[in-house]
Amino acid sequence: MITAHKIALDPTVKQEQYFRRAAGTARFVWNWALEHWDAQYQQGKKPNGMKLKKEFNALYSTQFPWISKVHRDCHSEPFRNLQKAFTKFFRHEAQYPKFHKKGQYDSFYVVNDAFKIKEKTVKLPVIGKVRLREQLRFEGKIMGATVSREADRWYLSVKVEVEDYHQERILDTTVGIDVGLKTFAMLSTGESVAAPKPLKRYLKRLKRAQRALSRCIKGSQNRKKQQRRVARLHARVHHIRQDFLHKLSSRICRENQTIVIEDLNVKGMVKNHKLAFAIADASWSEFKRQLKYKSLIYQDDLILANRWMPSSKTCSRCGSVKEDLTLDDRVYICQHCGFELDRDHNAAINLCTLGLRGTHAHGQSNDWLKWELTPCSFVSTI
């Protein structure tokens, strides 16, 4: 299993200048390769990442001599990344690759034999030793690393191949999770988890900072300072959200053997402009992604219930379906047995029941109930 550890760096001024130069080189090479890929494709040729790399290696020493001042990995890895990007595009797994812009996603790659990590120090090519804020927490074969910038801080993301990387669970229970906007998650146990909503909390400060940025003269030092302020605010929003999602997903995987969650169509839901902001701030897709890989670490069974399953409309006591249930109805009242319960809690119980029995609680055979349970893996329902 390959896992990664992202560690904050503490570089000197000279080291930070090299990081910017190396990231700029990687960005330049990516844009050069993408431009030539488009040109060759329009000429009827079949471009390839490795062919473009050979063409670039033959001319960069004369046309771009400044590239030799950075390590070779900075201008060789972009070709491999571009090939992967087009492979995903042709498989309809990603959009068409775009040109990179300065200041956005600045990063460069370092192969595993070009750096060494010892306690809280990493030895990188050209610049030597750089301080780490913490030690590498995984033991195994190091596959490579990426140095990236987020706001005004630099990070080292190390990929490590570990054997039998599993964590022990505290409990072996089953839980159903119903995600929402009013509360981020309602568990079948009755626990309601509120979301921090960091973007909503910092929106006023972001608007003010971005308004000040738009008034600054382009190319001025004040504009660069204001850009860093805006970037730091965005980074803070991202870190608050990620901290909340990681803590919640880890706790759920550690305390349960079977986890059931709805496979929501988030991409389609954000097209509703009235809900898009709240859905993006909640980050349901990222929560599901974390549950997927952490369920493998804790050897859990993660079931993605079909998005058409009427978990909110079904009574968790008698199994009857209330077709006229609307979003305004926050309390579920069954018309057959008179059962009353919070709408989200009722849906979470239905999801938990699906995980406990492997079929509907009352034996109905609908298409949305067909699913397969595979130990220590995640599966989707049909």
Residue 9 pairs with which residues in a beta bridge? 132
The per-residue pLDDT for 373 is 37
Nearest to 57 by CA among 76, 82, 35: 76
Pick the catalytic residue from 77, 281, 301, 344: 344
Pick the catalytic residue from 77, 178, 281, 301: 178
- For 154-199, the DSSP string reads EEEEEEEE-SS-----S--EEEEEEE-SSSSEEETTS-EE----HH
User: What is the distance between the alpha carbons of residues 286 and 19, in angstroms, rounded to a whole number?
Assistant: 29
Q: What is the pLDDT of residues 270-300, one digit of tens each?
A: 898 988 999 999 999 999 999 999 998 888 8
Burial of 160 from C-beta contacts in 10 A (0-12 / 13-18 / 19+): buried
Q: Is 281 a catalytic residue?
A: no
Q: Is 191 a catalytic residue?
A: no
pTM of structure: 0.84
Rg of the chain taking only CA atoms, in angstroms: 25
The per-residue pLDDT for 376 is 36
The per-residue pLDDT for 358 is 58
List the structure tokens of 354: 């699906």
Q: Is 163 a catalytic residue?
A: no
Cite the beta strand spans of the chain per DSSP E.
Answer: 2-10, 107-111, 116-118, 121-124, 128-132, 141-150, 153-161, 173-179, 185-187, 192-193, 256-262, 301-305, 331-333, 340-342, 378-380
CB atoms within 10 A of CB 2: 13
Pick the catalytic residue from 262, 281, 300, 301: 262
Q: What is the pLDDT along the chain (382 residues), one digit of tens a residue?
A: 888 999 999 999 999 999 999 999 999 999 999 999 999 999 999 999 999 999 999 999 999 999 999 999 999 999 999 999 999 999 999 999 999 998 888 999 999 999 999 999 999 999 999 999 999 998 889 999 999 999 999 999 999 998 877 788 877 788 999 998 888 999 999 899 999 999 999 999 999 999 999 999 999 999 999 999 999 999 999 999 999 999 999 999 999 988 999 888 888 888 989 889 999 999 999 999 999 999 988 888 888 888 888 888 888 888 888 888 777 778 888 888 888 888 889 889 988 888 877 533 333 333 443 333 333 333 333 3
